[in-house]
């Protein structure tokens, strides 16, 4: 028991964070570690295989495909299948390639993202701050509706659209995406606004601001992170949609997914696998790019949606 | 602060959507399922006759059977693979970000694209089986996709490939929420890691597992795009699923009444799943 | 009961040398408290004793046996974590016996140890409950029980009271002290709360930035702090520091504040140099015959005592007053400082003179 006036240690840089490492390093794991990496690499291969095959097949000529195995790298890589997929394949009546589908998908996706986000934000805002009576019950039914198969609602919606005279047009498909996108969008924004302190809202009300002013001036500017997440989820969902586009968009507005299926599964004659694969990649390009570019936001969106949902 | 009607007005779109888009359509479908509607809705009420015809319909019964088989395999495979992937990634592995990206990217692809790629991969003669034969196994044949009894399993493979990453992402989030001091305590108690996962962590993750189960189950019921892209319900009607049956009868075979009955039947398991889930949530909220 | 010996311990984490050449001896049955602000390395030190963090060099001996490379479960230690880390889906009984079951201990031995621990900690009635059904104090006892059944020689506590509100904290603190009296085991306790340290410890190790500042009994550390950091860390309200000078006759002065420090306060006679004077509030008395004068700037009533802040020239001193006297801001007062209880520190290094 002694006093240490100088301290035992020499002068020192500041200690790292107080907590010891969260997961204790264990020395017993050396052999098991190899097993872990082995499992993960095998799994990664399984997951990457289709992507690899898609890309590789789309760069080969038909002779090469018939000649070599499905996993072989292209000997004479060519972009001809891509060109064909984009501008000349037959999608039903026309043989204009998938570019019309691409254009249609964009035309569908943009409003089908903006509108549900806007309305979802207003809904989430009203639900979490204003809490009108019966609103929670309404929200509960909306959420339940998200789990119900679309087939239960699809025919009546067709009739309603037909009655309104908009069936088979761009407004119809956008409206349908609004209906089916509302649960998820509302959930995202509601959960987000629930994590905003109520005091902020109350202070604004004491200052005399009303419903729309608080929303537009205070809440919306704060909502950028969740808007990004919502946009990612909605763009992916709408772009990848098949069934709603098939039924509601009408022949001139068929999205890329529908056209893709037409190209591959309804062509007669020889199947051009390389063109098919190129077409598949083209269709998947937008959401995949979004995914690879957004990284953690994508995961955040899943967690945000699924945790409370 | 005075009461204002603006929130109610702002929620009008939600109200209309729920009333017309969801409740209204569901009720209408229910109504049509009890009429003799063919191409167009009719108002001739025939009670539960459509349901009777439905369950006498061989194709419908096959679709139910397929859905049950598919559902079980899909949910179990996704849970097991997703959980294992999450656990392994959680072991402080290097390159975690890359791994997560690799496992999750299939979820960014549409069901149609997934179905088409796997259709190509599982094509007898051109796909995987020819590659395996080229490696030396001359007798290897992978023709499930054209085999009546095996076609549905190809859909399982394709959709498990797509959805496991999602399960992994959700489980990983759950795992990360486990108090790290539990791990320290377990280490002190000399409990091997696999036991910690099985006997301590997994029970703690029950809410996450329940959510995942719900998401997977509803995906099973909604199965349509992947089947259309991969097998078109074939060969013949071997890989028929209820959603496809309904869609075909609504738009191709012009039998709205029968299709509506099918839709209502499809609704039943969804409600059966939602009810206990909602009940459990409300109990937890009240607690 | 064991003693614990740390020799020239070095811990490097994230490239930073958090603990450097640390020597520490813990006697059997001691309650040693590692005290310091966040980031001082006390938790890291505790984790290295537990074996959860590897030491880069140096030796750790527990009960006379070298445990530097040993697994946490082989060190004969038990640990109570900040969040208690009870397995949430298991009952109290299962929580306590889980480790033993894994180790293959015979069933009757498990039952014997669990019953004994439950009796000691008054957990008998709670054995079938789950952690979520227990109060904070009960959870703490279960966490201790988990360590008890392992027949640990040394108990380690990692800030177990930090997450609790003030009232519960005081209650559990007392329970812990009673427990130590009953068990008599060696306990090492980490905290940033000096009240916990003072009330629980048989010895306190004050740490800052990875260095040990002082090791001593609570009284030693309080009354004769080794440096300015220790002096300012312990005691509430904190010790007042006044920069000034000591002249050739050993008289301290800093503007209007002047006094002659008693012989007992320093190691050797201090003359002719700049110093920092340290005075605790309880050694400042407001008396009509006091040698110093000043004005009241603030009064804080605390119920059983008052803290009166006195402005003397450019300096402000706190005075702990136990009577019911009424003081108002602006009031002129006379006060005295107990010259035998002041401390003098070097202005540059902060060390005690």
The tokens describing A110, both together, are 């943009």
Residue A30 resides in a domain: no
Going by the DSSP 8-state scheme, the letter that residue C301 receives in this structure is E
Residue C351 resides in a domain: no
The predicted model gives B244-265 an average pLDDT of 89
Q: For the domain that residue C322 is a member of, what is the CATH number? A: 2.40.50.140
DSSP assignment string, A218-240: IIHHHTHHHHHHHHHHHHHHHHT
Angle between helices C107-120 and C92-103 (to 10 degrees): 140
Residues paired with residue C277 on neighbouring β-strands, in sequence order: C242, C344
User: Chain C partners of B192 at a C-beta cutoff of 8 Å?
Assistant: 102
Strands (E), chain C: 4-13, 16-26, 31-35, 57-62, 65-66, 77-80, 154-158, 186-191, 203-208, 211-216, 240-246, 252-254, 257-259, 273-279, 284-286, 292-301, 306-312, 315-321, 332-337, 343-345
pLDDT at B283 over 80: no
The tokens describing B278, both together, are 């909602």
Which residues, in sequence order, are CB contacts of A306 under 8 Å at separation 6+?
A: B170, B211, B212, B215
Which residue out of B174, B189, B197 would a mutagenesis test of the C interface target, given it has the greatest number of C Cβ atoms within 10 Å? B189
Q: For the domain that residue C80 is a member of, what is the CATH number? A: 3.40.50.300
Residues paired with residue C309 on neighbouring β-strands, in sequence order: C298, C318
Q: Are residues A52 and A188 in the same domain?
A: no
Work out the burial of residue C109: count CB atoms within 10 Å of its CB; fewer than 13 is exposed, 13-18 middle, 19 or more buried.
exposed
User: Chain B partners of A309 at a C-beta cutoff of 8 Å?
Assistant: 211, 215
The predicted model gives A276-301 an average pLDDT of 87
The rounded distance, in Å, linking the Cα atoms of B248 and B274 is 27
pLDDT at A13 over 60: no
Residue A85 resides in a domain: no
**By residue range, what is the domain housing residue C193?**
4-233
Residue A258 resides in a domain: no
- Which residue has better confidence, C337 or A23? C337
- Residue B44: the pLDDT is 79
CA distance C228 to chain A (A): 10
Residue C134 resides in a domain: yes
> What does the pLDDT look like over A146-196, one tens digit per residue?
889 999 999 999 989 988 888 888 999 999 999 999 999 999 999 899 888
The rounded distance, in Å, linking the Cα atoms of B135 and A159 is 56
- Residue B155: the pLDDT is 92
- Residue C1: the pLDDT is 55
- Asked if C87 lies within 8 A of B200 by C-beta distance, the reply is yes
CA-wise closest residue to B17 among A144, A233, A213: A144
Backbone Cα Rg of chain A: 27
Q: Residue A238: which pLDDT band, with cuts at 50, 70 and 90? A: very high
Residue A93 resides in a domain: no
Q: Which single residue is written with the structure tokens 């249609």? A: A104
CA-wise closest residue to B213 among B268, B273, B144: B273
Residue C37 resides in a domain: yes
The string over B245-266, giving b where at least 16 C-beta atoms fall within 10 Å of a residue's C-beta and e elsewhere, is bbbbbbbeeebbbbbbbbbbbb
Q: Are residues C266 and C193 in the same domain?
A: no
- Asked if A3 lies within 8 A of C215 by C-beta distance, the reply is yes
Going by the DSSP 8-state scheme, the letter that residue C19 receives in this structure is E
Residue A87 resides in a domain: no
Q: Are residues A177 and A304 in the same domain?
A: yes
- Domain boundary at C209, C233, C257, which? C233
The predicted model gives A84-94 an average pLDDT of 82
Q: Are residues A72 and A147 in the same domain?
A: no
> What does the pLDDT look like over C3-19, one tens digit per residue?
888 888 888 888 788 88
Going by the DSSP 8-state scheme, the letter that residue C257 receives in this structure is E
The number of CA neighbours under 13 Å toward the Cβ of C26 is 33
- Residue A25: the pLDDT is 45
Please count the structural domains in chain C: 2
The rounded distance, in Å, linking the Cα atoms of C97 and C107 is 10
Q: Are residues A117 and A208 in the same domain?
A: yes
Q: Are residues C85 and C204 in the same domain?
A: yes
Neighbours of A79 (CB within 10 A): 11
Q: Residue B214: which pLDDT band, with cuts at 50, 70 and 90? A: confident
The tokens describing A279, both together, are 């077409």
> What does the pLDDT look like over A188-227, one tens digit per residue?
999 899 888 888 888 888 888 888 888 998 888 889 889 9
Q: Are residues A147 and A204 in the same domain?
A: yes
- Asked if C44 lies within 8 A of A15 by C-beta distance, the reply is yes
Distance of CA A302 to the CA centre of its chain: 9
What is the domain partition of chain B in residue ranges?
29-286
* ipTM of the modeled complex: 0.86
B29-286 to CATH, choices 3.30.565.10, 3.50.50.60, 1.25.40.850, 1.10.3720.10: 1.10.3720.10
CA distance B81 to chain C (A): 24
Pick from A93-97, C273-277, C298-302: least confident: A93-97
Sequence length of chain A is: 309
The tokens describing A192, both together, are 């987000």
Q: For the domain that residue A217 is a member of, what is the CATH number? A: 1.10.3720.10
For residue A28, give the chain C residue with the closest CA: C71
- Residue A267: the pLDDT is 65
Q: Which single residue is written with the structure tokens 């599964």? A: A265
Q: Are residues C43 and C170 in the same domain?
A: yes
**By residue range, what is the domain housing residue A70?**
35-78
Residue A4 resides in a domain: no
Residues paired with residue C155 on neighbouring β-strands, in sequence order: C78, C187
Going by the DSSP 8-state scheme, the letter that residue B33 receives in this structure is T
Residue C54 resides in a domain: yes
Q: Are residues A62 and A184 in the same domain?
A: no
User: Chain C partners of B177 at a C-beta cutoff of 8 Å?
Assistant: none
- Residue C300: the pLDDT is 92
CA distance A260 to chain B (A): 8
Work out the burial of residue C119: count CB atoms within 10 Å of its CB; fewer than 13 is exposed, 13-18 middle, 19 or more buried.
exposed
Which residues, in sequence order, are CB contacts of C230 under 8 Å at separation 6+?
A: C206, C213, C214, C221
CA-wise closest residue to A87 among A227, A224, A259: A259
- Domain boundary at C233, C263, C294, which? C233
For residue B202, give the chain C residue with the closest CA: C89
The predicted model gives C236-253 an average pLDDT of 87
Which residue out of B41, B112, B182, B284 would a mutagenesis test of the A interface target, given it has the greatest number of A Cβ atoms within 10 Å? B112
User: Chain B partners of A243 at a C-beta cutoff of 8 Å?
Assistant: 224-225, 247
The predicted model gives C209-236 an average pLDDT of 90
Q: Are residues C333 and C246 in the same domain?
A: yes
Q: Are residues A159 and A199 in the same domain?
A: yes
Residue A136 resides in a domain: yes
- Domain boundary at C172, C202, C233, which? C233
Q: Are residues A110 and A215 in the same domain?
A: yes
For residue A20, give the chain C residue with the closest CA: C44
- Residue A11: the pLDDT is 28
Q: Are residues C36 and C170 in the same domain?
A: yes
Residue C59 resides in a domain: yes
Please count the structural domains in chain A: 2
Backbone Cα Rg of chain C: 24
CA-wise closest residue to C94 among C128, C122, C118: C128
Q: Are residues C312 and C165 in the same domain?
A: no
- Asked if C41 lies within 8 A of A3 by C-beta distance, the reply is no
């Amino acid at each position: 028991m002694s006093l240490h006036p100088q301290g035992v240690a020499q002068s020192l840089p500041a200690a790292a964070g107080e907590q010891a490492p969260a997961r204790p390093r264990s020395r017993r794991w050396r052999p098991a570690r190899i097993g872990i990496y082995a499992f993960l690499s095998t799994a990664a291969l399984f997951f990457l295989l289709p992507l690899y095959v898609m890309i590789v097949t789309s760069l080969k000529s038909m002779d090469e495909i018939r000649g070599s195995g499905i996993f072989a790298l292209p000997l004479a890589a060519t972009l001809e299948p891509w060109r064909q997929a984009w501008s000349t394949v037959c999608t039903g009546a026309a043989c204009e390639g998938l570019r019309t589908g691409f254009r249609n998908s964009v035309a569908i996706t943009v409003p089908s993202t903006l509108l549900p986000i806007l309305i979802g934000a207003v809904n989430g805002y009203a639900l979490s701050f204003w809490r009108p009576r019966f609103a929670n019950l309404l929200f509960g039914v909306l959420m339940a509706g998200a789990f119900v198969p679309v087939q239960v609602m699809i025919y009546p919606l067709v009739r309603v659209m037909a009655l309104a005279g908009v069936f088979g047009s761009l407004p119809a498909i956008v409206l349908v995406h609004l209906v089916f996108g509302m649960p998820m969008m509302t959930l995202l924004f509601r959960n987000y606004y629930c994590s905003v302190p109520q005091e902020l809202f109350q202070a604004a009300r004491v200052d005399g601001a009303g419903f729309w002013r608080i929303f537009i001036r205070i809440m919306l500017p704060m909502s950028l992170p969740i808007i990004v997440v919502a946009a990612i989820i909605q763009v992916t969902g709408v772009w990848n949609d098949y069934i709603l586009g098939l039924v509601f968009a009408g022949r001139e507005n068929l999205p890329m997914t529908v056209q893709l299926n037409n190209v591959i599964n309804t062509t007669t004659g020889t199947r051009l696998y390389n063109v098919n694969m190129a077409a598949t990649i083209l269709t998947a390009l937008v959401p995949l790019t979004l995914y690879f570019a957004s990284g953690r936001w994508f995961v955040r969106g899943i967690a945000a949606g699924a945790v409370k949902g | 602060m005075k009461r204002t009607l603006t929130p109610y007005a702002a929620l009008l779109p939600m109200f209309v959507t729920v009333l017309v888009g969801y409740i209204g359509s569901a009720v209408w479908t229910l109504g049509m399922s009890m009429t003799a509607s063919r191409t167009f809705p009719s108002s001739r009420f025939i009670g539960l006759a459509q349901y009777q015809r439905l369950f006498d319909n061989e194709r419908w019964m096959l679709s139910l059977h397929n859905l049950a088989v598919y559902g079980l395999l899909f949910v179990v495979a996704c849970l097991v693979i997703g959980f294992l992937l999450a656990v392994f990634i959680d072991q402080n592995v290097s390159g975690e970000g890359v791994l997560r990206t690799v496992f999750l990217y299939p979820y960014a692809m549409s069901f149609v694209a997934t179905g088409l790629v796997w259709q190509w991969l599982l094509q007898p003669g051109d796909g995987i089986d020819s590659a395996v034969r080229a490696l030396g196994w001359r007798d290897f044949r992978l023709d499930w996709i054209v085999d009546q009894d095996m076609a549905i399993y190809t859909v399982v493979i394709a959709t498990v490939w797509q959805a496991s990453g999602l399960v992994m992402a959700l489980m990983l989030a759950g795992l990360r929420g486990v108090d790290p001091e539990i791990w320290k305590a377990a280490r002190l108690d000399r409990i091997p890691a696999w036991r910690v996962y099985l006997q301590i962590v997994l029970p703690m993750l029950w809410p996450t597992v329940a959510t995942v189960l719900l998401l997977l189950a509803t995906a099973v019921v909604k199965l349509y795009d992947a089947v259309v892209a991969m097998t078109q319900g074939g060969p013949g009607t071997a890989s028929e699923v209820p959603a496809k049956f309904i869609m075909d009868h609504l738009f191709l075979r012009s039998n709205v009444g029968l299709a509506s009955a099918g839709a209502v039947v499809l609704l039943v398991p969804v409600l059966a799943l939602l009810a206990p889930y909602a009940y459990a949530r409300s109990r937890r909220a009240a607690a | 009961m064991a003693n614990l010996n740390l020799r020239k311990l070095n811990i490097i984490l994230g490239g930073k040398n958090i603990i450097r050449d640390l020597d520490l001896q813990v006697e059997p049955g001691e309650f040693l408290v590692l005290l310091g602000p966040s980031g001082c390395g006390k938790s890291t030190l505790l984790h290295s004793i537990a074996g959860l963090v590897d030491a880069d060099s140096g030796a750790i001996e527990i009960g006379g046996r070298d445990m530097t490379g040993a697994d946490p479960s082989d060190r004969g230690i038990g640990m109570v974590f900040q969040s208690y880390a009870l397995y949430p889906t298991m009952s109290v009984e299962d929580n306590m016996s889980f480790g033993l079951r894994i180790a293959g201990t015979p069933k009757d031995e498990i039952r014997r140890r669990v019953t004994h621990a439950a009796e000691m900690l008054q957990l008998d009635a709670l054995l079938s409950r789950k952690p979520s059904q227990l109060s904070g104090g009960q959870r703490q006892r279960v966490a201790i029980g988990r360590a008890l059944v392992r027949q640990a020689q040394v108990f380690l506590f990692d800030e177990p009271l930090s997450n609790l509100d003030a009232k519960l904290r005081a209650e559990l603190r007392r329970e812990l002290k009673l427990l130590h009296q009953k068990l008599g085991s060696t306990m090492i306790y980490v905290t940033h709360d000096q009240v916990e340290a003072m009330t629980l410890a048989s010895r306190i190790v004050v740490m800052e930035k990875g260095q040990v500042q002082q090791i001593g009994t609570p009284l030693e550390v309080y009354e004769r702090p080794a440096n300015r950091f220790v002096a300012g860390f312990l005691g509430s309200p904190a010790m007042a520091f006044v920069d000034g000078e000591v002249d050739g006759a050993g008289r301290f002065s800093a503007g209007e504040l002047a006094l002659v420090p008693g012989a007992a306060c320093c190691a050797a006679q201090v003359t002719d140099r700049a110093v920092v004077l340290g005075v605790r509030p309880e050694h400042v008395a407001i008396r009509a015959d006091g040698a110093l004068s000043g004005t009241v700037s603030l009064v804080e009533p605390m119920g059983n005592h008052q803290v009166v802040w006195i402005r003397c020239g450019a300096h402000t001193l706190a005075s702990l007053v136990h009577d019911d006297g009424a003081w108002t801001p602006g009031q002129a007062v006379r006060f005295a400082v107990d010259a035998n209880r002041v401390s003098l520190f070097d202005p540059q290094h902060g060390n005690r003179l």
